[in-house]
Amino acid sequence: MKNLKTSLLSFFIVSLVAVLVFPAFSYAQGSIEILKQTIPVDNSQNFNFTSDIPGFEVFSITSNDGFLEDGLADGIYTVTESIITGYTLTGINCNSENVTTNVDNRTVIIDLMNEDIVCTFINVANGEIIIQKNTVPAGGLGFNFSENITEPNGDFMLDGGGNITFLDVSPGEYEVTEDDPTVNPGGFFLSDLVCDDMGSSTNVGTRTATIDLDSEEVITCTFTNTAQLEGLIMTKTDFPDPVAAGTELTYDIDIVNNSNFVATNVMFVDTLPDGLIPVDISSNIPGVNCQFDVVNPLDPQTASCEIIDMAPTQEVGISIVVIPDTSVFNTNPVMIENTALLTAQPGNVMREATTQTLVNPMVDIEIDSGNENRRVNEGNRFTIAYDITVNPDNQEVLASLSSDDAQIRADALDVMLDVGFPGVFNIDTVETTQGSCIIGIDPVIQCDFGDIMEGQTVTVTIVFIAPNESGDFTIGATVRTLGQNFSNFVFVFVRDGGSDCSLAAAGSTGTSNLLYLFIPLFIFARRYWDRIKKHEG
């Protein structure tokens, strides 16, 4: 019995010493670190969290800051970020597979097993969307809209001159649509829809603004409705849009009298934006007098048409052709706005129609495919290296620009290359010094270079494999940028290995085609000259 007591006492003492001296062996320990990242960085904003970590049921951190608790026993821990005005949680990144994340619920569930867990909560600053309503004439009432900005989707109403602001909107894509104003409230039609954001788009036909909202961005979209007074309607379109400086831009105006009586003293006036050179103005109705009122070629021009009378259901079309001046639109894309005015009697009827057109600067791109003579045998590999160069038009202007921003410099934007080749050819390799290239399902190679700076050259190197058949083939390349196209053709003559007269020649913009057309003519002229010399002899 005494020995048993002694044994139990010894076991108790040893166990107590093990717990006191070696606590690390009594249970596993780990750590949890919560980090905060904001886009953009905002070190002044506190973000609140709740958790079931002992002693830290509530804590706060700022951007580029963090919370760390170590010495935690193994177990399940939950950390949740609270909703905060002005920001949206877009992601949660953790360094362990033992963590379950839920961005919608702003929560991480951590299965801690003697490890150091780090989770980063990423928040993006929200933006604003403003919807404005204009009416011509002013004072229109009761225009209804639907939107998916709020959750659930909502409706709202605006009067002419009114607006509504949606605050604290998460970055993303949204749609705002106006109900048909010819039905409700009636007597109006949507004549123009403009958003002050290049990434957003509008559709007058569906009366919808598609808004692409970025972090901290404020976007304003203006819906303009024109009264259908006396049933006289004017619509205006532009083509092409965008348009390259130095090329023709056409405004098409359609005027319809949908009333039951004659519209009198009908007059159309369009003051063209600065920098547009008038080319032609005409109407599809005989007797309509149209003209440009040219005062000074550098001043805005006025295009006008005296329609006089329009019978019920009559329709008049007017076409205005202009050219954006390359000396005015020569550095960066510019959005020009053109508003046409239509007046008529009775009732002092006034109609406005507005278009916005993106004018891109004219760029000069050279495609050089080497212009080298080569012999191509059946089944052999051969290389074509395209050098795409944006030629600077004015070195002094180029030297004065210190910015590399393509919106400031006269650069080529969103440059694409398409290389079409015969289906009997195969592609070995495609390499580019900028951007990326893919081989399409059709026999075409497509390259996306992004922006190419003025004076810069991008090289695309393609290794072709000639077919196992003789023949004459053409490889065509087209560079597209800012609504402009630049072409290059390489003419490949494939012969069998025993032929020494095959030749692959490169030419720009189809020049080599013309040369081959002149070969028969040259031979005929030479033979004719020999006959004359022989006759004279």
85-132 confidence digits (pLDDT tens): 899 999 999 999 999 999 999 999 999 999 999 999 999 999 999 999
Q: Locate 329 and state its tokens.
A: 């639109």
Q: Which CATH architecture has domain 364-518?
A: Sandwich (2.60)
- 242 close to 357: Cβ distance less than 8 angstroms: yes
Label residue 82 by pLDDT band (50, 70, 90): very high
What integer pLDDT is reported at residue 524 of this predicted model?
A: 44
Domains 27-125 and 364-518 share a fold: yes
> Contact, 482 vs 361, CB < 8 A?
yes
Report the pLDDT averaged over residues 142-154. 94
pLDDT recorded at residue 352: 93
The whole-number pLDDT of residue 299 equals: 59
CATH class of 127-227: mainly beta
Structural element, H or E, at residue 391: strand 381-391
User: Residue 222 has what pLDDT?
Assistant: 97
Is the pLDDT higher at 33 or at 28?
A: 33
| The token pair that represents 33 in the structure block | 């670190």
Question: What pLDDT, on the 0 to 100 scale, is given for residue 293?
Answer: 80
Q: Is the dihedral of CA 145, 214, 173, 447 positive or negative?
A: positive
Kindly state the tokens that stand for 504: 């692959």
Query: What's CA 178's distance to the chain center, in Å?
Result: 24
Give residue limits of the domains in the chain.
27-125, 127-227, 229-360, 364-518
Q: Please state the CATH superfamily assignment of the domain spanning residues 229-360 in this structure.
A: ntegrin, alpha v. Chain A, domain 4 (2.60.40.1530)
Task: Kindly tell me the burial class for residue 344, based on how many C-beta atoms sit within 10 Å of its own C-beta (0-12, 13-18, 19 or more).
Answer: buried
pLDDT tens-digit readout, 34-48: 999 998 888 888 999
Prediction pTM value: 0.41
Helix (H), strand (E) at residue 456: none
- Calculate what percentage of the chain has a pLDDT beyond 70: 81
The CATH number assigned to the domain with range 27-125 reads 2.60.40.10
Query: Which among 46-50, 257-261, 374-378 has the top mean pLDDT?
Result: 46-50
Question: Residue 345 and residue 257: Cα distance in Å, rounded?
Answer: 12
3-state secondary structure of 406: coil
For the segment 250-275, the average pLDDT, to the nearest whole number, is 91
Whether 93 contacts 120, CB under 8 Å: yes
Residue 60's contacts (CB-CB under 8 Å, 6 or more residues apart) are 46, 47, 48, 49
